[in-house]
Amino acid sequence: MIKVVIIGAGNVATHLYHCFNQAMEFNVVQVFNRNKDHLDFVEDPAKRNSDLSKIAEADLYLIAIKDEAIEDLSIKLKVKKGIVAHTSGSQDMNTLATFENYGVFYPLQTFSKTKAVDFKEIPICLEANSEPNLEFLKKAASIISDKIFEVNSEQRRALHLSAVFVNNFSNHLFALAEDYCKQNQLPFEILRPLIKETVSKIETLDPYSAQTGPALRNDQKTIAAHLEMLDEDNKKIYTILTESIQKLHGKKL
């Protein structure tokens, strides 16, 4: 049984807690958060801790707090044995170099408090300061997920940036379309099946090959008609993405 202490009470910490708590191979011995009021999600009150000097002994300490707070916390955290790993996509592993055994345990997913996720499907990106520590993290991660990747700090930053493109920016395009639908008395509902199919397509095709539309066809008439329908801000987005599609696919506007 792997003893785990989870540090944090945000979306990632909460989802990790529930996931580890359900796995027989783990024993979540404690969850730490500065503010005890946010620890209600921890079933056993005895496992809630808001005093950093009373951190329990464990095999694995998972720091799932805001990026900018990791360094400060790691200075104050006294850990004798066990591996300390953060769950951040953008922080270097060496932020934890004050510990003897450390690494990164980065679940690449978007977490919302109210939405359940299936950890088996979540890629977990691992990095560690030694081969035995990496092996330990691999063993732990593979209990909860089928998708384990060894990823160095630089690659992890690249992944985090890619995640902004595929998640934050795509979702914003959906939000812009939602806004535009409202302006035209159209229910956003009509677009949902198309959005679903857009993603369903790239389960079998790579996105480069799945590309369609007026930019790819260099259909200047449709592009011009679309540009005329948009306000200045969205015209810029349309133009820059159209140019980018044509550049990636080797055409000129």
Region 133-152 residues binding its own copies, contact defined as CB under 8 A: 147, 149, 151
Question: CA angle 65-76-100, nearest 5°?
Answer: 90
Taking the complex as a whole, the smallest distance from the CB of residue 116 to its own copies amounts, in Å, to 11
- Asked if residue 23 binds its own copies (CB under 8 A), the reply is no
Task: Return the range that interacts with its own copies (CB under 8 A); candidates 24-32, 34-42, 73-81, 216-224.
Answer: 216-224
- Identify residues 147-206 at the interface with its own copies (CB under 8 A): 147, 149, 151, 154-155, 157-159, 161-181, 183-199, 201-206
Taking the C-alpha atoms of residue 75 and residue 96, their distance in angstroms, rounded to an integer, is 9
Q: Calculate the alpha carbon distances from 185 to 33, 180, 181 in Å.
A: 46, 9, 6
Taking the C-alpha atoms of residue 64 and residue 82, their distance in angstroms, rounded to an integer, is 16
Contacts of residue 226, defined as CB under 8 A and 6 or more positions apart, other chains included, come to 214, 238
Contact predicate 105/83, CB 8 Å: no
Structure tokens at 118: 């299936």
Interface with its own copies (CB under 8 A), residue total: 91
Per-residue binder mask for its own copies (CB under 8 A), 36-55, x = binder: --------------------
CB-nearer residue toward its own copies: 34 or 147? 147
Contacting its own copies (CB under 8 A), which of 40, 69, 72, 90? 90
Contacting its own copies (CB under 8 A), which of 57, 121, 132, 224? 121
